[in-house]
């Protein structure tokens, strides 16, 4: 919402944006874990990926990949899934299955430090249909409403992704829509009729919702400007057991994902 206000102020004024050189100090690198295990009942592949990287100086183009880490996921009932390194910071496993109400523990050993996190599987409803419209500030942006049925008995949080040339994210809670048919909203000024696009719904935990909420406020166009929120360090659910001060960034989660492919009209 603040972004809209901000856009309004900018658009309504004789404003001017310019790329400038700024000298930045660089903070010490930290481990970044992207352990989003996504499960879709409709697909054949069971391949799960965990990405490990480190932080880099802000203007650096390459994000350093992490190699040589030991990565595994275990459950309380003794199952153990080793993730094999395949290069470029990618660690893979195809055996892992998601069951509700099971605690999954992630363990990473990197540079002799042990990082751990626990998470449970979060399910999600299916996507129903898409409504398409033209709108936006200039009236020629494609707007999509993707409908779904929110389950009434639970408090739900969702991550939506819209994939065209780029990937767009939206997060929703059912605080004001519990138990109703409702929609996620995306707009894309670069879309054109005939584009094959993909919509995704993922069930996420409240913790991950809050994490993404902060993360999104810190990234991209949301930072800076008269309506900016205070920049902050955003910490996820992964803990460095060996040296807590050297905390990592990122998140470990297990989510159900449902997909809807759509051709832009």
Residues 120-159 that bind another protein (CB under 8 A): 131, 135-139, 143, 145, 150
Alpha carbon 179 to its chain centroid, in Å, reads 24
Sign of the C-alpha dihedral computed for residues 52, 34, 213 and 169 taken in this order: positive
2/7 Cα distance (integer angstroms): 8
For residues 18-47, which are near another protein according to CB under 8 A? 18-22, 24-27, 29-30, 32, 34, 36
Kindly state the smallest distance separating residue 34's Cβ from another protein, in Å: 6
For residues 70-129, which are near another protein according to CB under 8 A? none
Is the Cβ of residue 95 or residue 131 nearer to another protein in the bound state?
A: 131
Kindly state the smallest distance separating residue 209's Cβ from another protein, in Å: 10
| 106 beta partners | 73, 117
Is the Cβ of residue 27 or residue 43 nearer to another protein in the bound state?
A: 27
Is the Cβ of residue 228 or residue 242 nearer to another protein in the bound state?
A: 228
Tokens of 68: 């040589």
Name 207's Cβ contacts closer than 8 Å, sequence gap at least 6.
237
Q: Number of residues interacting with another protein: please give it, by CB under 8 A.
A: 90
Kindly state the smallest distance separating residue 153's Cβ from another protein, in Å: 15
Provide φ and ψ at 214, rounded to 5°: -70, -45
Name 106's Cβ contacts closer than 8 Å, sequence gap at least 6.
33, 35, 50, 71, 72, 73, 115, 116, 117, 118, 119, 238, 252
Alpha carbon 5 to its chain centroid, in Å, reads 24
| 104 beta partners | 75, 119
Is the Cβ of residue 19 or residue 41 nearer to another protein in the bound state?
A: 19
The pattern of x and - marking residues 198 through 227 that bind another protein according to CB under 8 A reads: ------------x-xxxxxxxxxx-xxxxx
- The region of 58-66, 71-79, 104-112, 257-265 touching another protein under the rule CB under 8 A is 58-66
Is the Cβ of residue 86 or residue 181 nearer to another protein in the bound state?
A: 181
Evaluate whether 73 touches 93 at the Cβ level (below 8 Å): yes
Is the Cβ of residue 82 or residue 233 nearer to another protein in the bound state?
A: 233
Q: Which of 47, 97, 167, 196 binds another protein (CB under 8 A)?
A: 167
Is the Cβ of residue 79 or residue 235 nearer to another protein in the bound state?
A: 235
Exposure string for 216-245, b = 16+ CB within 10 A, e = fewer: ebeeeebeeeeeeeeeeebebbbebeeeee
For residues 232-261, which are near another protein according to CB under 8 A? 232-237, 239, 244, 247, 249-251
For residues 179-198, which are near another protein according to CB under 8 A? 180-183, 185, 187
């Amino acid at each position: 919402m603040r972004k809209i206000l901000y856009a309004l102020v900018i658009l309504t004024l004789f404003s001017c944006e310019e790329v400038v050189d700024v000298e930045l100090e660089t903070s010490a690198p930290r481990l970044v874990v992207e352990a989003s295990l996504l499960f879709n009942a409709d697909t054949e592949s069971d391949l799960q990926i965990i990405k490990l990287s480190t932080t880099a100086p802000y203007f650096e183009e390459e994000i350093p990949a992490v190699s040589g880490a030991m990565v595994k996921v275990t459950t309380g009932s003794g199952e153990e899934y080793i993730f094999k390194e395949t290069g470029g910071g990618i660690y893979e496993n195809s055996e892992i299955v998601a069951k509700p109400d099971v605690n999954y523990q992630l363990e990473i050993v990197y540079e002799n430090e042990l990082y751990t996190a626990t998470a449970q599987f979060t399910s999600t409803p299916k996507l129903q249909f898409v409504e398409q419209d033209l709108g936006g500030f200039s009236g020629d942006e494609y707007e999509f409403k993707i409908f779904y049925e929110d389950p009434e008995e639970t408090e739900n949080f969702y991550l939506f992704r819209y994939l065209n040339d780029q990937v767009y994210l939206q997060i929703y809670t059912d605080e004001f829509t519990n138990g109703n048919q409702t929609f996620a909203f995306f707009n894309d000024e670069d879309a054109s009729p005939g584009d094959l696009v993909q919509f995704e719904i993922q069930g996420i935990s409240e913790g991950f919702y809050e994490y993404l909420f902060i993360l999104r406020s810190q990234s991209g166009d949301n930072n800076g400007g008269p309506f900016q929120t205070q920049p902050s360090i955003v910490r996820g659910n992964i803990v460095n057991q060996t040296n807590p001060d050297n905390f990592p960034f990122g998140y470990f989660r297990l989510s159900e994902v449902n997909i809807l492919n759509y051709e832009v009209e």
